[in-house]
Amino acid sequence: MQEQIVDPALDTAGVKPPPADTNARLVTLKDLPLSCPLPGDEVWNMHPRVYLPIDEEPSGELICPYCGTRYRLQRD
């Protein structure tokens, strides 16, 4: 049996994910339909665009199922 060589650069045992931003991103009615990532965001390293029906939420808040970004609709 061959000995398996493990690259230490690929060892993720002690790696923790970056801290999540708990602040909600405020969006207005002008931003609807809401998509994540937002149109102005750099998307080269992000997830596929997903549309979030925030205007249908009684609380006016939604969390992106891909990245966890919280959005809050400012209805005023």
User: pLDDT-based confidence at 21, cuts 50/70/90?
Assistant: low
Cis peptide before 53 (omega within 30 of 0): no
* pTM for the model: 0.68
pLDDT of residue 76: 78
pLDDT of residue 19: 61
Q: How far is CA 22 from the centre of its chain?
A: 11
pLDDT tens per residue, range 28-70: 999 999 999 988 887 777 889 999 999 999 999 999 998 889 9
pLDDT of residue 33: 95
Q: Are 34 and 27 in contact (CB under 8 A)?
A: yes
